[in-house]
């Protein structure tokens, strides 16, 4: 590969109203080694994590910070240890938090965290899926120790998803519903309530009101599992009241203030974090499970068990479309995913 790689990165933090929020640079394209694939990016998505990392740029950088952890593209070269993919194959993945992101023309990514893109789906549909799918899948089927196939068990269990209409919530709702769980999703306006129901939430409550009272009003005293996707500080005490004895709480958002874990002692409840980047961050032995999960997500898409959640598409991966996409996500009112097609 001798093509030139166009990088869209940030040298310093700006307001997303500032046209200088992102810059474009050209570089020689890297040569993949080891387990790396070189992927020609076809589309990317913007997630809240991008906005968070951008906000974390405290001083001007000498090299651009390349964001983007959701991509679909085509393999154009492979490292000498690659065994899962061939040149020419279409792939989708979230990527590695420690490395450059997907907001560039050619990206290096370890094959063990990459899935085969199901061919029936368009780039703009697939680009919005890896990060949310990996997070939702790992939360339900690893951290909660649920089995996707154990419908008999799952049918007797209730899952509360806090922020059920968000990016991760939309996939978690679909996966949990498919696995047989009764899903209570939280949402707060007519559009997000309709979205949550459309994706399989049997019951919806409002996270701006008292969750305990609302769940009890449904005739449900305790829930077996809680997936916390937003504002842990605000909801922790409600979670502690609602979780059943021996229940499992999984959160993807961190607390800003100490949370009183002792509220869970008598119930011997479990609190687990989900961070989709963990396996690649620590280069764990089971990193390849992300390859397997994404391949399974591809099959679930083909089987129409889950549907893509892209609702907004920009054309052209450049500083201006990136800025607009970030501004939308930072606004916090998106339903579904924002995607940018490369061309």
Does residue 11 touch its own copies according to CB under 8 A?
no
Give the SS3 label for residue 324. Answer: helix
The one segment of 26-34, 114-122, 278-286, 335-343 that binds its own copies by CB under 8 A:
278-286
DSSP 157-218: -EEEEETTTSHHHHHHHHHHHHTT-EEEEE--SHHHHHHHHHTT-SEEE-TTS-HHHHHHHT
Cα–Cα distance, 128 to 48 (Å, whole number): 12
Pairing assessment for the beta strands 243-251 and 270-273 based on DSSP bridges = parallel
Tell the smallest beta-carbon distance from residue 272 to its own copies (Å). Answer: 4
DSSP 30-77: P---TTEEEEEEEEEEE-HHHHHHHHT--S--SS-B-----EEEEEEE
Buried b (16+ CB within 10 A) or exposed e, 140-154: bbebbebebeeeeeb
Tell the smallest beta-carbon distance from residue 276 to its own copies (Å). Answer: 8
What track of x and - describes contact with its own copies for positions 135 through 164 (by CB under 8 A)?
---x---xx-x-------------------
Q: What secondary structure letter does DSSP report for 98?
A: T
Does residue 267 touch its own copies according to CB under 8 A?
yes
Question: By C-beta, is 87 or 282 nearer to its own copies?
Answer: 282
Question: By C-beta, is 14 or 99 nearer to its own copies?
Answer: 99
Distance of CA 78 to the CA centre of its chain: 26
Cα–Cα distance, 224 to 236 (Å, whole number): 15
End-to-end C-alpha distance for the chain, whole angstroms: 19
Question: By C-beta, is 21 or 171 nearer to its own copies?
Answer: 171
CB 299 within 8 A of CB 278: no
Tell the smallest beta-carbon distance from residue 91 to its own copies (Å). Answer: 24
Does residue 121 touch its own copies according to CB under 8 A?
no
Does residue 52 touch its own copies according to CB under 8 A?
no
The single residue among 272, 292, 299, 333 that binds its own copies, judged by CB under 8 A, is: 272
The single residue among 89, 237, 241, 270 that binds its own copies, judged by CB under 8 A, is: 270
# residues near its own copies by CB under 8 A: 33
Question: By C-beta, is 19 or 261 nearer to its own copies?
Answer: 261
Tell the smallest beta-carbon distance from residue 334 to its own copies (Å). Answer: 24
Tell which positions 156-215 bind its own copies, by CB under 8 A. none
Does residue 274 touch its own copies according to CB under 8 A?
yes
Does residue 304 touch its own copies according to CB under 8 A?
no
- Residue 263 half-sphere exposure, CB side, CA atoms within 13 Å? 16
The one segment of 53-61, 198-206, 254-262, 326-334 that binds its own copies by CB under 8 A:
254-262
Does residue 245 touch its own copies according to CB under 8 A?
yes
Does residue 224 touch its own copies according to CB under 8 A?
no
Residue that is written with structure tokens 């764990």 in the block:
284
DSSP H or E run through 107 = strand 106-110
The single residue among 120, 210, 233, 260 that binds its own copies, judged by CB under 8 A, is: 260
Does residue 278 touch its own copies according to CB under 8 A?
yes
Question: By C-beta, is 59 or 266 nearer to its own copies?
Answer: 266
Question: By C-beta, is 175 or 269 nearer to its own copies?
Answer: 269
Checking phi first, is residue 302 left (phi over 0); if not, alpha (psi -120 to 50) or beta? alpha
Does residue 268 touch its own copies according to CB under 8 A?
yes
- Residues within the interface to its own copies (CB under 8 A): 138, 142-143, 145, 244-246, 254-255, 258-262, 264-275, 277-279, 281-282, 284, 286
């Amino acid at each position: 590969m001798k093509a030139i790689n166009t990088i869209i990165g940030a040298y310093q933090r700006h307001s997303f109203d500032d046209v200088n929020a992102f810059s474009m640079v050209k570089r020689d394209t890297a040569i993949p080694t080891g387990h790396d694939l070189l992927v020609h990016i076809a589309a990317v998505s913007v997630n809240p994590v991008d906005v968070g990392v951008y906000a974390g740029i405290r001083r001007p950088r000498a090299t651009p910070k390349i964001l983007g952890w959701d991509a679909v593209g085509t393999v154009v070269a492979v490292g000498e240890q690659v065994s899962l993919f061939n040149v020419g194959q279409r792939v989708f993945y979230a990527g590695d938090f420690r490395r450059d992101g997907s907001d560039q023309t050619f990206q290096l990514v370890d094959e063990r965290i990459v899935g085969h893109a199901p061919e029936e789906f368009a780039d703009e549909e697939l680009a919005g899926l890896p990060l949310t799918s990996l997070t939702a899948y790992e939360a339900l089927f690893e951290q909660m120790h649920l089995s996707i196939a154990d419908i008999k068990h799952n049918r007797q269990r209730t899952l509360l998803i806090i922020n059920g209409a968000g990016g991760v919530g939309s996939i978690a709702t679909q996966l949990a519903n498919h696995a047989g769980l009764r899903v209570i999703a939280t949402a707060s306006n007519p559009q997000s309530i309709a979205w949550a129901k459309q994706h399989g939430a049997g019951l919806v409550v409002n996270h701006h009101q008292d969750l305990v009272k609302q769940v009890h009003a449904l005739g449900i005293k305790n829930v077996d599992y809680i997936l916390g996707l937003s504002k842990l500080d605000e909801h922790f005490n409600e979670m502690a009241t609602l979780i059943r004895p021996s229940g499992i709480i999984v959160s993807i958002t961190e607390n800003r203030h100490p949370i009183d874990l002792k509220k869970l002692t008598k119930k011997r409840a479990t609190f687990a974090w989900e961070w989709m980047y963990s396996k690649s961050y620590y280069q764990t032995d089971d990193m390849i499970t992300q390859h397997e999960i994404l391949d399974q997500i591809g099959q679930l898409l083909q089987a129409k068990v889950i549907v893509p959640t892209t609702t907004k598409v920009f054309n052209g991966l450049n500083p201006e479309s990136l800025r607009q996409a970030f501004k939308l996500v930072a606004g916090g009112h998106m339903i579904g995913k924002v995607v940018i097609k490369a061309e």
